[in-house]
Amino acid sequence: MIFTLLKKFFGIKAIYPENTFKIVAINGQPDCKNLEVVYQVSGKSTINMDKPEVLVNELMHIKGFSKNESGLIHDLFCMEKSMPDFRIMSMQFEIDPIKFEIEDIGSSHTLLLTAKEIIASNKIMEKFSPNDLTMIYYQLFKEDEIAQKMMKAEIKKLQTEKQEGNLYVLKNSG
Amino acid sequence: MNEKIMGINRNFSRFNKKMAELMKTRNMTIQSLSKEAGIAVGTIQKLLTDPSCNPTISSIEAICNILGASISEMIGQDEKMNTLNGSSVYLLEWEELPISLDNIHQIFADRQRKTIKTSFPVGKNAFALVMRDNSMLPLFPEQATLIFDPEKIPKDNSYVLVQTNNYKTIMFKQLLIDEPFKYITSTNPLFRDNIIKLDGQDKIIAVLVQSQLNF
């Protein structure tokens, strides 16, 4: 009793000896960020479910698995962590400039952003897969190309107007 | 009969009408719809005839899936809701092309089709195709779902479906307009050499309005 109270007071967690738990199943997919490890207390019918992230963060907990299984949990955690947080769901071509419909994989929330808006924030950019980033950059360069073309045409038009104006002055000056 | 549930205006008399209309275009009987949707014949009869009936969401969903319409289309939500929810379009096969506005409804109705939900509203004649090659990378990978609208007017840099007279095939390409000339090209640099100049006999069938990446 006193020992339990002391443990609570000092925030000491139980240290589970190796092989206390064993993995029963792994649910979900790493790219959907919904992996869950289903594990059982050895010799008991108690089954629990946790995300690999939770198990890795609770060091006391992960030590309760066998070496192979704790390695597997680490791998699952790294795999899930390395997956992109955002993905492109669709592109809207009716809107000018094109908008990307982006899904936050963790929360399933979607938002609409242009290529320029995405590139403006490093924090958002980091969360995409290389394939999605290629699409975003491609679109950005295309939009820039069009903008440059329009700007050149406008400059040309201005120059022509200026030349025509000069000619008019010349013609009417004498 | 209009009823306001969860802030959405639902018009059940519209539901009856729309359901009957779609069943007619698909040549479906009450029995066949009941079998495919897994709903009792009596329930479907009631849905068709009784404007005061209050169907469950699961029944509406099953019927919408079979009839190829979105729930918002069936229950007649207001315009604001429609713009948020998008709509559904029919998925066509490349072999079924070319299509024109005259025969599009006949093609849509000729057999049971898969529908694709769009996150944004599209025209009523819009249809979907699945990208079949890598010629339009990086924006359009193989197996991406492309949604086209035949009523949209193509602009410079639009992505279009073109029926060319010389090649006798339907192509999905990017349109480049350099007045008075029109060209189509692929976005993938490996296919880029093949720029095709369009002549008077070539026809732009539809303009891309949305592309969805499949997961």
The pLDDT assigned to B79 comes to 38
Of B141, B207, B210, the CB nearest to A90: B210
CB atoms B208 and A90 under 8 Å: no
> Are the CB atoms for A87 and A44 separated by under 8 Å?
no
Question: Cβ separation of B159 and A93 shorter than 8 Å?
Answer: yes
Comparing C-alpha atoms, which of B178, B4, B26, B35 is closest to residue B106?
B26
Per-residue model confidence as pLDDT tens digits over A10-33 = 555 567 788 889 999 999 888 888
Nearest CA in chain B to A145: B157
Average of pLDDT values for A92-104? 91
> pLDDT class for A100, splitting at 50, 70, 90?
very high
Min Cα separation B149/chain A (Å): 10
Residues of chain A neighbouring B211 (CB-CB closer than 8 A): 90-91, 93
User: What confidence category does residue B11 fall into, taking pLDDT thresholds of 50, 70 and 90?
Assistant: very low
* Overall average pLDDT of the B117-145 stretch: 90
Write down the pLDDT at residue B19: 82
Task: Give the start-end residues of each E strand in chain B.
Answer: 2-5, 8-11, 88-91, 115-117, 127-130, 145-149, 159-163, 170-178, 181-185, 196-197, 203-212
Q: With a cut of 80, say whether residue A132 has pLDDT above it.
A: yes
Amino acid B143: pLDDT = 93
Asked whether the beta carbons of residue B211 and residue A101 sit closer than 8 angstroms, the reply is no
Locate the chain B residue with the closest alpha carbon to A134: B138
- Selected residue of A87, A93, A112, A140 to mutate for chain B interface (largest B Cβ count, 10 A): A93
Q: Report the percent of chain B where pLDDT is more than 90.
A: 28
Least confident of A99-108, A155-164, B55-64: B55-64
| DSSP E strand stretches across B37-180 | 88-91, 115-117, 127-130, 145-149, 159-163, 170-178
Contact B136, B146 (CB under 8 A): no
Q: Which residues of A touch B141 (CB under 8 A)?
A: 131
pLDDT-wise least confident of A79-88, B105-114, B198-207? B105-114
Instruction: Return the C-alpha torsion angle A82, A86, A87, A90, nearest 10.
Output: 180
Give the N- to C-terminal CA distance of chain A in Å, as an integer.
113
Structure tokens at A50: 């946790």
Supply B59's token pair: 């029944």
- ipTM rounded to 2 decimals: 0.73
Give A94's contacts in chain B (Cβ within 8 Å).
Answer: 120, 152, 209-210
Q: Is the pLDDT of residue A72 over 60?
A: yes
Inter-chain CB proximity B138 and A94 less than 8 Å:
no
Q: Tell which residue, B104, B105, B96, B207, has the closest CA to residue B155.
A: B207
pLDDT exceeds cutoff 50 at B1 = no
Q: Kindly determine whether residue A94 and residue B210, on different chains, have CB atoms separated by under 8 Å.
A: yes
Q: Which residues of B touch A101 (CB under 8 A)?
A: 119
Taking CB atoms and an 8 Å limit, are B211 and A90 in contact across chains? yes
Query: Does residue B4 have a pLDDT over 80?
Result: no
Give B22-50 pLDDT, tens digit per residue: 887 777 888 888 888 888 888 888 888 77
What whole-number distance in Å separates Cα of residue B38 and Cα of residue B188? 46
CA distance B122 to A146: 26
Cβ of A87 within 8 Å of Cβ of B208? The answer is no
How far is A113 from chain B, CA to nearest CA, in Å? 14
Name the interface residues of A facing B (CB cutoff 8 Å): 31, 87-94, 101, 110, 131, 134-135, 138-139, 142, 146
Mean pLDDT of the region B184-205: 87
Cβ-nearest to A92 among B157, B207, B210: B210
Instruction: Answer yes or no: is pLDDT of B12 > 60.
Output: no
Q: Is the pLDDT score of B84 beyond 70?
A: no
pTM of full prediction above 0.80:
no
Mean model confidence pLDDT for chain B: 80
Preferred mutation among A33, A87, A89, A91 to probe B, highest tally of B CBs within 10 A: A91
Contacts of B157 in chain A (CB under 8 A): 142, 146
Pairwise CA distance, residues B99 & B149, whole Å: 11
pLDDT bin (cut points 50, 70, 90) of residue B87 is confident
